[in-house]
Amino acid sequence: MENINLIESFSEFKETKNIDRTTLISIIEDVFRSLIRKKYGSDENFDVIVNPERGDLEIWRNREIVDDEFAEDSFDYDENKHIGLSEARKIEPDFEIGEQVTDSFKLDDFGRRSVLAIRQNLVSRVLDLEKDAIYQKYKERVGDVITGEVYQVWKKETLILDDEGNELILPKNEQIPGDFFKKGDSTRAVVSKVDMRNNAPVIILSRTSPVFLEKLFENEVPEIFDGLITIKKIVREPGERAKVAVESYDDRIDPVGACVGMKGSRIHGIVRELKNENIDVINYTANTQLFIQRALSPAKITSIKLDEENKRAEVFLKPDQVSLAIGKGGHNIRLAGRLTGYEIDVYRDTDEDVEDVTLDEFGDEIEQWIIDEFKNIGCDTAKAVLELSDEELIRRTDLEEETVREVKRILRSEFE
């Protein structure tokens, strides 16, 4: 109906992705009924018909036919609800008193300002409803992995668009250190948090959350998805190392083997997604000593002393296993502590006499480049270094006096 044509407005609204057709029609009808009530005090005798396919809207007013005397003299006469018989017969000669006359309303009947207000109100209502729909949709998807396209990369965050064009935020501190994005890239992340800020939904994604790793395992390992294998706990140092404790409720299923897959087929995809993060899959057990032993893998433990009250564990290993237990940058021992809930202290097992120890066994206490300096002058073992004077070591290497003394202190403690 050309007099209430809203094609321009409908062309904007029909692209809304999160509002169903019925709700959209209801909003448009409600906006016009509000305007009618404001102008005439009531909308009871009006029909508002939305035609989204044609892009227009019709408003029809229903008035009761009354005799002309009532129309002229009665205080109860309301020209919005009543029409005199003579007026009605100008429209249709066969009309009688008590019947209803239905006539259409034109947009001009509301006035120019009201028309502008209608359109602004419609836009505002639809946008608010769509924002709320997006918020509710993603509130229910917290913990789910989504795939999106990188739209813009900033210093502190990256803007991701989902398959419906909704904007999602991946903050820098939720990105794996090895992540590098450019516009158009496809990436996966877990929905971490959903907030409303300034009446707009803010969806925060994460690639560093343990939940992200858990969901990747669910996608890659059918036994986890089906509930035959349970992930008891995950700890991560994103981009470096992760430990995953798994348990099977079916004795016929090896949980570690199922997670790793034939020749690592299942876990390789997860490792690539996490920028080559090392993932240790561990068989969960309620036996604390055994769990700590498994958590410190690949190191082999000689013995463990537990202080259950203070949640501390003293772990004894052969000298060649200490650096494996601690791991590069201390990642292995820190993650093992977080996985088991125990503060783990590592000690060299001195039950057997150690005639000498190679310098490489001190990699957790002495930086590698310093060890290499000693190796370059033929000192491969602790005793070989201790047999030389400070002056001789300083002269033959590029090391400072303070560094040499500190190294000797560490080496002597091995034999004390």
pLDDT band, very low/low/confident/very high, at 12 (cuts 50, 70, 90): low
The structure's pTM equals 0.64
Query: Do 106 and 6 fall into the same domain?
Result: yes
Quick check: 18 pLDDT over 70? no
Residue 87 lies inside a defined structural domain of this protein: yes
Q: SS3 of 196, please? A: strand
Domains held by the chain: number? 4
Question: Stretch 337-341: mean pLDDT, rounded?
Answer: 94
The sheet with strand 241-248 has its strands ordered as: 229-237, 241-248, 278-283
CATH number of the domain to which 52 belongs: 3.30.1480.10
Quick check: 4 pLDDT over 50? no
pLDDT in tens, 286-334: 999 999 999 998 888 988 999 988 999 999 888 778 888 888 888 899 9
Query: Do 192 and 223 fall into the same domain?
Result: no
Q: Which domain holds residue 399?
A: 359-415
Question: Stretch 269-284: mean pLDDT, rounded?
Answer: 93
Instruction: State which of 206, 230, 251 marks the end of a domain.
Output: 206
Query: Do 32 and 105 fall into the same domain?
Result: yes
The encoded tokens of residue 324 equal 């494996």
* pLDDT number for residue 151: 95
pLDDT in tens, 188-213: 999 999 998 888 899 999 999 999 99
CATH number of the domain to which 215 belongs: 3.30.300.20
pLDDT band, very low/low/confident/very high, at 1 (cuts 50, 70, 90): very low
Distance CA 152, CA 147 (A): 15
Contacts of 141 (CB under 8 A, 6+ apart): 191
pLDDT in tens, 85-102: 888 788 888 888 888 888
Instruction: State which of 263, 284, 305 marks the end of a domain.
Output: 284
Report the mean per-residue pLDDT for the chain.
84
Least confident of 112-121, 238-247, 364-373: 112-121
pLDDT band, very low/low/confident/very high, at 69 (cuts 50, 70, 90): confident
* pLDDT number for residue 5: 45
pLDDT band, very low/low/confident/very high, at 2 (cuts 50, 70, 90): very low
Question: Stretch 257-265: mean pLDDT, rounded?
Answer: 91
**55 C-beta neighbours (distance < 10 Å), count:** 15
Query: Do 153 and 132 fall into the same domain?
Result: no
Per the model's pLDDT, the better-predicted residue between 13 and 287 turns out to be 287
Query: Do 37 and 129 fall into the same domain?
Result: yes
pLDDT > 70 in the chain, percent: 89
pLDDT band, very low/low/confident/very high, at 229 (cuts 50, 70, 90): very high
Asked if 188 and 143 count as a contact pair (C-beta separation under 8 A), the reply is no
Query: Do 45 and 103 fall into the same domain?
Result: yes
Question: Stretch 260-282: mean pLDDT, rounded?
Answer: 92
* pLDDT number for residue 360: 84
Residue 298: cis peptide before it, omega within 30 degrees of 0: yes
Query: Do 46 and 99 fall into the same domain?
Result: yes
Residue 376 lies inside a defined structural domain of this protein: yes
Burial 218-237 (b: 16+ CB within 10 A, else e): bebbebbeeebbebebbbbb
Quick check: 52 pLDDT over 70? no
pLDDT > 90 in the chain, percent: 38
Instruction: State which of 136, 152, 182 marks the end of a domain.
Output: 136
Query: Do 112 and 150 fall into the same domain?
Result: no
DSSP string, 86-108: HHHHHH-TT--TT-EEEEEPPGG
Question: Stretch 374-396: mean pLDDT, rounded?
Answer: 83
* pLDDT number for residue 7: 44
The encoded tokens of residue 236 equal 């991560």
Residue 295 lies inside a defined structural domain of this protein: no
* pLDDT number for residue 284: 94
* pLDDT number for residue 382: 86
pLDDT band, very low/low/confident/very high, at 416 (cuts 50, 70, 90): low
Question: Stretch 209-238: mean pLDDT, rounded?
Answer: 94
**C-alpha pair distances (Å), 44 with each of 34, 76, 82, 99:** 11, 17, 13, 17
